[in-house]
Chains A and B, each alone.
Chain A
Amino acid sequence: MSDWHVPDELLEAFATAPGSIDAVTAASIEQHMVGCGSCQSVVGARSSSSELDAIWAEVADRVDRAGASWSERLLSRLGLESGPARLISATPALRMGAVAAVGLIVLAVVLVSRAADVGAAFLVAAPVVPTALVAMSFAPGADPAGECGLATPVFGFGLVMRRALLVELVAVAALGVGSLFIPIDGMRAVAWVLPALALSLGTLAGAVRWPATESATVVLACWAGAVVVGAIAEPGNEIVESVVFDPAGQLTVALLAAAAGVVVLMHRQALVQEAGR
């Protein structure tokens, strides 16, 4: 072992102002200190305990920081603080697996529509996707805090509706891309948007009284019934030309969506309870 030690002024700078030393010198000092108790004790005595505490706190903070989900990172980039971003994105409907499944379903429906040259298949199937995701967001156990969260100041109608809105937007974005590739031209290609909104709101309206998954099942059954009735009522027409997707049908769907929205607003506390079960 050598008798050489790091010069006093360098140790002083290393201990109190490490930024003032170039990287090569700092690495040399560190290497020497590994085997030199004398220099270790000098650095230990001169280092500020508060500075060490701060460094340790930073290290612990980084170790403990949870890996942010893709939706949390997205919301943070859009300007939301990390806390609210985590709360809004904390739903199984926004996990990567669920979003990947949505992408695959949309792709499959587009391919079927194109292969059969039946655009109506996409219009009929599309509203099911956001409805299922919204139901998943409100299913029992969907919130990570469960009933513990229900008794906190932040858990409320604003949070659960922002979460539902984000889920809806993700589904609508995926379906929007899909609708570019279906064999329907013009505004008819997006005739699924209002039914999607109505079915999602209908699911939430039902969730003020029944479990969200049961509510979604009933709402989707009603949707299937409406499509079948529309097709039977106008047997000569394509489904895409049926009453469900014509302007009058779209207006009716919009009114139903508005009515469901009113029910949700009137019973918002019950909806919050459902989201926290």
Chain B
Amino acid sequence: MMSTIVVRGVDKRFGSTVAVDGVDLEVGPGVTGLLGPNGAGKTTLMRMLATVAAPDHGEVTVFGHDPATTAGRLAIRRRLGYQPQEPGFHGHFSCFQFVDYVAILKEWTSRRERHDEVRRVLGLVGLGDVSNRRISRLSGGMKRRLAIAQVLIGSPDLLILDEPTAGLDPEQRLRFRELLGSAAPGATVLLSTHQTDDVSALCSRVIVLLDGQVRFDGSPAELAARAEGRVWLADARDPMARLGWVGGDGRWRNIGDPPAGTDTVAPTIEDGYLVLTGADTLTEAAADE
């Protein structure tokens, strides 16, 4: 199957800061999660894929089109739904006016059909009852849902979602997962998040970015397996642990190199992610010892 997104040797700098450093990846249909700490380059990469920013070097193709050309950008944007990290709403617009405005930008010229579509997507995200409420009077979670609503206009083939679940409460996050499963069947979805449980629930594939580079590309189970044999529970923080925290049951969850004879527990994606992102620290610490 042809990949929806192909990225080859892409770099992007802002002054002396390297945001994306020689990234190669291909993304096809299904939900792919993009994980990484703040400043890892996730947003910059997503903005380039959404035709909002251009790479300094390298090649990007989306649906086989080059976003560097006017015709290519147009072809990509006609099949794209993009939710930026900071949507930047106009507070004086109502929910309906905002989504309607974006629908006009997405070439919905027939007013009747456009309004039907606006009502449909507002209903999908649970904002149908407050469609005439001003955006300035919405809660943070409602604003996030409004940003998701505009993504869904026209049921695009590619959804690029930059931290779509930030600011959503647990119930809203569950609804979002349900929505993504039902509203975008067969679509290519690339979402960045800090929530590893979102990745477990939604993604068939996960990519971890660190310092602008792809450090992991595989299934959620494979990411969890990175911490296999390196997670153990104890009544106190183990001095051998590189990372540790108290769980809800009052026991410490330790990550690192367990003492000999310790029983380890099954790792989660979060454990795998922490081992991966803390790998440099672990290595340096081991060398010091």
Q: Which residues of A contact B (CB under 8 A)?
A: 57, 60-61, 63-66, 81-84, 86-87, 90, 141, 144-155, 269, 273, 276-277
Contact = CB atoms under 8 A, between A and B. Distances in A.
Given A66-B96, A144-B98, A151 B87 contact: no
Contact of A152 (B54, B77, B93, B112): B77
Contacts of A151: 50-52, 77, 80, 82, 160
6 contacts: A66-B100, A86-B101, A145-B150, A150-B51, A153-B105, A154-B106
B84 A147 contact: yes
A135 to B, nearest CB: 18
A147 B119 CA distance: 22
B106 A152 contact: yes
Contacts of A61: 111-112, 115
A65 B119 CA distance: 12
B94 interface: yes
A142 B89 CA distance: 10
Given A151-B50, A154-B104, 6 more contacts: A60-B115, A145-B105, A147-B88, A149-B101, A154-B106, A277-B88
A147 B86 contact: yes
A151 B62 CA distance: 13
Interface residues of B, number: 43
A145 B99 CA distance: 9
A83 B52 contact: no
Nearest to B151: A148
A148 B88 CA distance: 8
Give 6 closest A-B pairs by Cβ, nearest first: A146-B88, A152-B105, A151-B82, A147-B84, A144-B90, A83-B104
Given A61-B115, A83-B104, A148 B87 contact: yes
Interface in B136-187: 147, 150, 160
A82 B103 CA distance: 13
B116 interface: yes
A81 B80 contact: no
A64 B77 contact: no
A147 B52 contact: yes
A141 B89 CA distance: 8
A38 to B, nearest CB: 34
A128 B43 CA distance: 38
Nearest to B101: A144
B74 interface: yes
Contacts of A87: 101, 104-105
A35 B111 CA distance: 38
Contact of A90 (B52, B101, B160): B101
B78 interface: yes
A49 B131 CA distance: 25
Nearest to A92: B90
B4 interface: no
A22 B53 CA distance: 62
B52 A145 contact: no
A70 B109 CA distance: 21
A151 B104 CA distance: 13
B213 interface: no
Contacts of A153: 74, 77-78, 105-107
Given A90-B101, A154-B106, A148 B111 contact: no
Nearest to B52: A150
Interface string B67-78: 000000010011
Contacts of A276: 52
Nearest to B47: A147
B253 to A, nearest CB: 38
Contacts of B96: 64, 66
A138 to B, nearest CB: 14
Nearest to B74: A153
B201 interface: no
Nearest to A63: B132
B118 interface: yes
A147 B151 CA distance: 12
A66 to B, nearest CB: 5
Contacts of A84: 104
A85 to B, nearest CB: 10
A57 B119 CA distance: 11
B102 interface: yes
A175 B72 CA distance: 42
B77 A81 contact: no
Contacts of A147: 52, 82, 84, 86-88
